[in-house]
Amino acid sequence: MSEPKSDQGKPSSLDDLDRRLTAARSRDPQSQPRQKGGRADLSGLGLGMRLATELVAGAAVGTGLGWGVDHFFGTSPWAILSFSVMGWVAGIMNAYRAVRGMDDTVGFGAALNRSQTSDKDDGKGSDGV
């Protein structure tokens, strides 16, 4: 009941299956990950989950910080209210950036992208000539 082995040690029917799968994957453009900004694009469900996480995380962090400030300074409920609002605003801004594909608009990612694009646009060598 053993299948004939190919030269690589796999049964020949597996070689045939591997060939057919490779051919089918090369014909189907959706099976290939599309690159955008160095990462594969998110599926609809993945993007939805990320947006929900951004909103909830922003609200939770803001509320937690507000509770801590209220507890430390005895300013209840003013800090928790203001920090909750700031947390929601931060979550909405992060979700907006995720949808627009602007994840690296600030910080190290933006600086790295600017330096890489300026190096490409210069057309000069490292000696400036």
- Convert the pLDDT of each residue in 14-58 to its tens digit: 888 889 888 888 887 665 655 555 455 557 888 889 889 999 999
Report d(CA 68, CA 61) in Å as an integer. Answer: 11
Examine residue 126 and state whether it is found in any structural domain, yes or no.
no
Examine residue 18 and state whether it is found in any structural domain, yes or no.
no
Domain count, the chain: 1
Examine residue 69 and state whether it is found in any structural domain, yes or no.
yes
CA distances for 63 relative to 55, 57, 81, 115, 125, angstroms: 12, 10, 8, 37, 51
Examine residue 24 and state whether it is found in any structural domain, yes or no.
no
Burial readout 3-27 (b: 16 or more C-beta within 10 A, e: otherwise): eeeeeeeeeeeeeeeeeeeeeeeee
- Residues constituting the chain: 129
Examine residue 79 and state whether it is found in any structural domain, yes or no.
yes
Residue numbers of the domain that contains 97? 43-121
- Convert the pLDDT of each residue in 84-97 to its tens digit: 999 999 999 988 88
Phi, then psi, of 109 in degrees rounded to 5: -60, -40
